[in-house]
């Protein structure tokens, strides 16, 4: 894998191209979550058609069901799920720390119970790599400790230090030349710890760097402080991934600070609850005011949903619980995210990202639904 | 509308072509149910791509939500749901008699409560026509009385006679020249009543004839008796529609007796419960034996699902409750039905329907799931 820088300076928004065995990814890029091996409600073909190049799958979910060994036998994750483009898998750590009951963390790894059937499992840094190798993703992540928010400086220090020791063990067992291993920076909202995390990970050397442990309850100002502390220290020739973030506004802010990769459940999950992104802000399609509204969700949007359907029809499908409504909503939201990134990339290429960001933020504030 | 006979004799399987303002339908044809204005889990584009030419929408559901007036304002049902091909709407009667609580039948019509919110409504033969005119379907049905099974000869006689009086009232108020009104034959499982029903409806004169009140619990032998009694009496130059039936085996049997049109929730509903039709019989995708099965659902099927996915992946999606699984299953089942009809039409064209029917029935008996 190679990461080529195309536009942008040493700080601020930047353009890049990530090459993987399953194709290239223009950055900055947004990855939708295909948690259990499918972007919820969509086909791989639809995901590709809205402009998505890279997707994220959750190791925790796939390890528990159907299991990484069956997936390997069936030709790996790409073949299993019919997605021929690049895939990033997380390590499973985040879900273990957020979903699984009865976790027990030791230096060796983390013991947990499946949220599906209560069965007991043990995930070590080495096992997280083994599972991701079996899945065959293009980009893989090391097991990290994801502490809750808020935590004390001492607790954040412990989590950071364990994450660094686990990162080194992960790097040592990672052998696949066609999989790129990222490092994950922890350290909570403490700038000194984040800075230490970056320096030690860079010393170990990884193919890319992720900022983890955010989007768990901190303020937007705290996230911005972490970004301002860490991005200037990260090597310019490696992709930077802000894990689990966020709203369109969050993405715009983080791109301005040099982030290349994002993932978030927001466009897909919000699609399924009728929360729809438009160029003038959000709307909830359940609203009675849409009952006889013949206009598309967003008259400036060229997605399949907006080209074919009225708000009145989408509201009807949503209220009737029709699967097609969930599909059309999700498709629209993902198109919105994908085209936000496409527009951002063009703005960076043309050296006008600041103006672009201000314009979009101004437009987005026009919606009727707060975050 | 015109119905052109293309192949087949005065009795037995026959080929035809139905012309409507929204295009032609090659018969025999199967209509999937788009009950509330969407074929469940599928887009109109997918429905068209599996070869479907005609769909059925339920007047009862659309009348209650979102209402026929909003749909008329929004340009009619075709525009509302984005389906440009022919649409048949039922009268609402079947759902009133099967879904709605607290029905009260009078000579005037039927009073009922909405199953959604308990609100009270009154449906008369005239109102059923008014609603269907607002919806703008190509083929519409008169309100009929759908009695339960079993009923006595006297009760069936009463229901038939009321249905005939309602059919005449429906015909008298039906003025739209671009909508074809069918007549519905009732009469339960009693050959004398069915025969009387046909003769009186034909005397009134309708654009097509439907056999109603079946598929509510009778034996297959009883349905066959009704078909053998009625089809020879129906005008050869009008389409014949067997309402609500059924399995692939049922369709093959009814086509052999001269039926042209079918509707049933079976392919779509079974798709959502993991019951999948294959050329060698049915399977339930939940089965543990499919956990590591790399083969497609049906190796002789060319649908999107079978061209892209393994049984193992479909089982995984189903167990994980993923919407994509419901989509892929529904798409496959509807493709199966649509191509069964396509193959049947070709067999009739080539004068070998009997051989075709025997071959398919023999293959279908190979599955692992009984009806």
Q: What is the pLDDT of residues B98-153, one digit of tens each?
A: 888 878 999 999 999 999 999 999 999 999 999 999 999 999 999 999 988 999 99
How far is residue A272 from each of residues A143, A299, B14, B117, B213, measured CA to CA in Å?
30, 21, 45, 24, 38
Task: Give the full edge-to-edge strand order of the sheet including B120-123.
Answer: B104-105, B110-113, B120-123
Closest CA–CA distance from residue B62 to any residue of chain A (Å): 10
Cα separation of B24 and A158, whole Å?
Answer: 71
Determine whether A263 is an active site residue. Answer: yes
Nearest by CB to residue A74, choosing from B43, B310, B319, is: B310
- Nearest of B137, B143, B146, B150 to residue B167 by alpha carbon: B143
Residue range B26-44, pLDDT digits in tens: 999 999 999 999 999 999 9
- Nearest of B60, B48, B52 to residue B26 by alpha carbon: B52
Query: Residues A31, A334: contact at Cβ < 8 Å?
Result: no
Q: Using a CB-CB distance cutoff of 8 angstroms, which residues of chain B are in contact with residue A322?
A: 36, 38, 40
> DSSP for B47-88?
HHHTT---EEE-HHHHHHTT-HHHHHHTT-HHHHHT--S-EE
Cα separation of B359 and B364, whole Å?
Answer: 9
Q: Which of A272-281, B97-106, B358-367 has the highest mean pLDDT?
A: A272-281
Q: Per-residue confidence at A270, pLDDT binned at 50, 70, 90?
A: very high
How far is residue A105 from each of residues A194, A314, A316, measured CA to CA in Å?
22, 46, 48
Angle formed at CA B245 by CA B242 and CA B251, multiple of 5 degrees: 85
Q: What's the mean pLDDT when you consider all of chain B?
A: 96
What are B228's two structure tokens? Answer: 């053998």
Residues above pLDDT 90, as percent of chain B? 92
Residues of A (298-337) whose Cβ lies below 8 Å from B? 308-310, 312-313, 315-317, 319-320, 322-328
Query: Residues A81, B312: contact at Cβ < 8 Å?
Result: no
pLDDT at B370: 43
pLDDT at A294: 98
Residues of B (13-52) whose Cβ lies below 8 Å from A? 36-43
The residue to which tokens 């927001």 are assigned: A266
How far is residue B294 from each of residues A12, A83, A295, B247, measured CA to CA in Å?
47, 16, 45, 28
How far is residue B311 from each of residues A307, B32, B90, B129, B296, measured CA to CA in Å?
34, 24, 36, 45, 5
- Residue B45: partners with Cβ closer than 8 Å, 6 or more residues away: none
pLDDT at B371: 44
Q: Per-residue confidence at A368, pLDDT binned at 50, 70, 90?
A: low
B2 phi/psi in degrees, rounded to 5: -135, 150
User: Which is catalytic among the residues A90, A138, A144, A260?
Assistant: A90
User: Which is catalytic among the residues B138, B250, B263, B298?
Assistant: B263
The residue to which tokens 């997918």 are assigned: B46
**Where are the strands (E) in chain B, listed by range?**
2-7, 15-20, 23-27, 29-31, 55-57, 87-89, 104-105, 110-113, 120-123, 139-140, 180-185, 208-211, 240-242, 261-263, 275-278, 281-284
pLDDT at A216: 84
- Residue B228: partners with Cβ closer than 8 Å, 6 or more residues away: B257
Cα separation of B15 and B7, whole Å?
Answer: 5
pLDDT at A175: 87
Query: Residues B175, B242: contact at Cβ < 8 Å?
Result: no
pLDDT at B11: 86
Q: Per-residue confidence at A228, pLDDT binned at 50, 70, 90?
A: very high
Domains of chain A: 2-230 (3.20.20.105), 271-364 (no CATH)
Query: Chain-centre distance of CA B264, in angstroms?
Result: 4
Q: Does A216 touch chain B (CB under 8 A)?
A: no
Residue range B61-77, pLDDT digits in tens: 999 999 999 999 999 99
pLDDT at A371 over 90: no
Q: Residue B82 and residue A313: Cβ atoms within 8 Å?
A: yes
- The residue ranking higher by pLDDT, A370 or A161, is A161
Report how many Cβ contacts below 8 Å link chain A to chain B.
Answer: 101
**Where are the strands (E) in A161-255, listed by range?**
180-185, 208-211, 240-242
Angle formed at CA A300 by CA A295 and CA A304, multiple of 5 degrees: 75
Cα separation of B104 and B8, whole Å?
Answer: 44
Nearest chain A residue to B308, by CA? A82
Q: Which residues pair with B301 in a beta bridge?
A: none
pLDDT at B99: 87
3-state secondary structure of B105: strand
pLDDT at B102: 77
What are B335's two structure tokens? Answer: 């493709």
Residue range A8-60, pLDDT digits in tens: 988 899 999 999 999 999 999 999 999 999 999 999 999 999 999 999 999 99
pLDDT at B101: 83
Cα separation of A227 and A216, whole Å?
Answer: 15
pLDDT at B244 over 70: yes
The structure's pTM equals 0.97
Determine whether A108 is an active site residue. Answer: no
């Amino acid at each position: 894998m190679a990461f080529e820088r195309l536009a942008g300076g040493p700080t601020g928004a930047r353009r890049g191209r990530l090459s993987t065995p399953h194709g290239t990814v223009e950055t900055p890029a947004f990855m939708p979550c295909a948690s259990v091996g499918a972007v919820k409600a969509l086909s791989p073909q639809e995901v590709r058609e809205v402009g998505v190049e890279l997707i994220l799958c959750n190791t925790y979910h796939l390890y528990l069901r159907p299991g990484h060994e069956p997936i390997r036998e069936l030709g790996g994750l790409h073949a299993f799920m019919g997605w021929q483009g690049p895939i990033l898998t997380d390590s499973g750590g985040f879900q273990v720390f957020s979903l699984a009951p009865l976790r027990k963390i030791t230096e060796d790894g983390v013991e947990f119970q499946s949220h599906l059937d209560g069965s007991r499992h043990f995930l070590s840094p080495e096992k997280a790599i083994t599972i991701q190798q079996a899945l065959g993703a293009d980009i893989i992540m090391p097991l990290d400790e994801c502490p809750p928010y808020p935590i004390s400086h001492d607790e954040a220090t412990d989590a950071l230090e364990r994450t660094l020791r686990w990162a080194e063990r992960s790097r040592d067992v990672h052998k696949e030349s066609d999989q790129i291993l990222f490092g994950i920076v922890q350290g909570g909202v403490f700038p000194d710890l984040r800075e230490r995390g970056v320096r030690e990970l860079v010393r170990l050397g990884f193919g890319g760097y992720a900022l983890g442990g955010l989007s768990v309850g901190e303020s937007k100002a705290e996230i911005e402080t972490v970004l301002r502390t860490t991005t200037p220290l990260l090597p310019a020739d490696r992709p930077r991934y802000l894990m689990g973030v966020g709203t369109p506004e969050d993405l715009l802010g983080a791109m301005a600070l040099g982030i290349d990769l994002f993932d978030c459940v927001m466009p897909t999950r919000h699609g399924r609850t009728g929360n729809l992104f438009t160029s003038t802000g959000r709307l909830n399609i359940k609203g009675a005011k849409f009952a006889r509204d013949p206009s598309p969700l967003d008259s400036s949007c060229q997605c399949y949903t907006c080209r074919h359907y009225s708000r009145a029809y989408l509201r009807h499908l949503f209220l009737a619980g029709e699967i097609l409504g969930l599909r059309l909503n999700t498709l629209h939201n993902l198109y919105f995210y994908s085209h936000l990134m496409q527009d951002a990339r063009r703005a960076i290429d043309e050296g006008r990202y600041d103006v672009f960001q201000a314009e979009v933020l101004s437009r987005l504030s026009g919606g009727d639904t707060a975050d």
